């Protein structure tokens, strides 16, 4: 098997989610550090324009979005499973809460609390990405007490879940729900000055935090971004053509499409020819001088796939 290469930066909470998954799997992986804001010149040839963090590369297969990355890690490294005690399915439903509404609340607090100190370029980039073209960090700052009340109640759910003799969200073994909840707690504790005091209210959660942190991140080893490009260029995509007769959009291999996150974040679309399509993922073929022929994979949930008319 080709090496697992994660393109990320240390401060990224969504990357921390994936790093915890790599820790649960305890696998070796290569770590490529990317810039926190565009331009990302050594990432763009791989993703075709997708600019978010993290991205997983395996040879010439590129997996965008933590949802797609984690599914692929579970497929390639099935033991130990991320769905202990027969939990498959439910953790993905949970991810719509952690990755959508709870994530937005936590970003609003972390960034809103620093509204007067944030570097302008970073504040403008993240404002547009998470709160649309009319973002207003001062408004986020003003509503901090309200947002904190929302977050506190939801952290309370996690604390309650971890009561009794449950070491992890699903019981004795760590799984996907732990990574999903932990990355936000990690972000809230580490980047919001009031985070540690608020978290002090939740003893079960704090004990669990220590257990998840102790899992670690598996076995990372640094890799230069130029070497990652070269690995893609000399590899051939592993994934085979896949059709889905039940696809509600009628998507099929061979069709040209544009794929983008289905949010008003100003994200560019990535264009390519469909190679594989299923209800959970879509893979499109692209090529670029730096990387040769590659396959870029996206999740279906949370992404909009638009056919491109071809002559
Ligand atoms: N739905 C995406 C969200 C990824 C995301 O928004 N990541 C943040 C970093 S935590 C990001 O991309 N920030 C802008 C950047 O890194 O350029 C996923 O699950 O991977």
pLDDT means over runs of 10, the chain (311 residues): 93 98 98 98 98 98 98 98 94 98 98 97 98 98 98 98 96 98 98 98 98 98 98 96 98 98 97 98 98 98 93 53
pLDDT at 2: 85
Identify which of 54, 46, 78 has the alpha carbon closest to the alpha carbon of residue 237. 46
What spacing in Å lies between the alpha carbon of 166 and ligand 1's midpoint?
Answer: 30
Question: What domains are there in the chain, each with its CATH number?
Answer: 5-80+220-307 (3.40.30.110), 90-215 (1.20.1050.10)
pLDDT at 311: 53
- The answer to whether the CB of 286 is under 6 A from ligand 1 is no
- The answer to whether the CB of 53 is under 6 A from ligand 1 is yes
Closest ligand 1 atom to residue 265 Cα is 6
pLDDT at 239: 86
CB under 8 Å, gap of 24 or more: what pairs does 219-222 form? 219/26, 219/27, 219/28, 219/29, 220/6, 220/19, 220/22, 220/28, 220/29, 220/30, 220/31, 221/28, 221/29, 221/30, 221/31, 222/30, 222/31, 222/32, 222/33
Strand-pair partners of 31: 6, 222
Closest ligand 1 atom to residue 65 Cα is 20
- Rounded Cα distance between 152 and 144, Å, is 12
In the chain, where does DSSP find H-type helix? 13-25, 44-47, 66-76, 90-96, 103-112, 120-131, 137-142, 144-161, 176-191, 195-199, 203-215, 225-234
- The answer to whether the CB of 114 is under 6 A from ligand 1 is no
What spacing in Å lies between the alpha carbon of 280 and ligand 1's midpoint?
Answer: 19
- The answer to whether the CB of 66 is under 6 A from ligand 1 is yes
- The answer to whether the CB of 25 is under 6 A from ligand 1 is no
What spacing in Å lies between the alpha carbon of 295 and ligand 1's midpoint?
Answer: 20
- The answer to whether the CB of 127 is under 6 A from ligand 1 is no
What spacing in Å lies between the alpha carbon of 54 and ligand 1's midpoint?
Answer: 6
301 class by beta-carbon count within 10 Å (0-12 exposed, 13-18 middle, 19+ buried): middle
Best mutation site among 6, 9, 11, 12 for ligand 1, i.e. most ligand atoms within 8 A of its Cβ? 12
- The answer to whether the CB of 16 is under 6 A from ligand 1 is no
Asked whether 297 and 68 are in contact (CB, 8 A), the reply is: yes
């Amino acid at each position: 098997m080709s090496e697992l290469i994660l393109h990320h930066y240390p401060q990224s909470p969504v990357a921390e989610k994936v790093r915890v998954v790599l820790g649960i799997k305890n696998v070796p992986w290569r770590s490529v550090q990317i810039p926190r804001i565009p331009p990302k010149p050594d990432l763009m040839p791989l993703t075709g324009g997708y600019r978010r963090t993290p991205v997983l590369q395996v040879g010439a297969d590129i997996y965008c979005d933590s949802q797609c990355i984690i599914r692929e890690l579970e497929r390639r490294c099935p033991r130990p499973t991320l769905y202990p005690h027969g939990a498959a399915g439910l953790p993905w439903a949970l991810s719509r809460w952690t990755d959508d509404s709870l994530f937005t609340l936590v970003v609003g607090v972390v960034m809103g609390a620093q509204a007067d100190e944030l570097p302008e370029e970073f504040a403008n980039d993240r404002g547009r990405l998470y709160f649309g073209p009319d973002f207003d960090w001062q408004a986020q700052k003003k509503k901090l007490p309200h947002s904190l009340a929302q977050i506190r109640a939801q952290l309370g759910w996690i604390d309650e879940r971890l009561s009794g003799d449950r070491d992890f969200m699903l019981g004795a073994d760590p799984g996907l729900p732990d990574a999903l909840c932990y990355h936000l707690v990690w972000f809230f504790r580490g980047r919001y000055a009031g985070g540690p005091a608020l978290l002090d209210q939740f003893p079960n959660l704090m004990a669990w935090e220590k257990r998840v942190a102790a899992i670690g991140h598996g076995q990372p080893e640094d890799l230069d971004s130029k070497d990652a490009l070269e690995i893609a260029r000399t590899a051939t995509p592993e994934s085979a053509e896949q059709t889905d007769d039940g696809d509600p959009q009628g998507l099929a291999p061979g069709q040209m499409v544009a794929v983008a996150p289905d949010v008003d974040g100003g994200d560019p679309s990535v264009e390519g020819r469909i190679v594989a399509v299923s209800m959970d993922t879509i893979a499109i073929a692209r090529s670029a001088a730096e990387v040769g022929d590659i396959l870029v994979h996206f999740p279906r949930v949370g992404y909009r796939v638009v056919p491109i008319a071809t002559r």
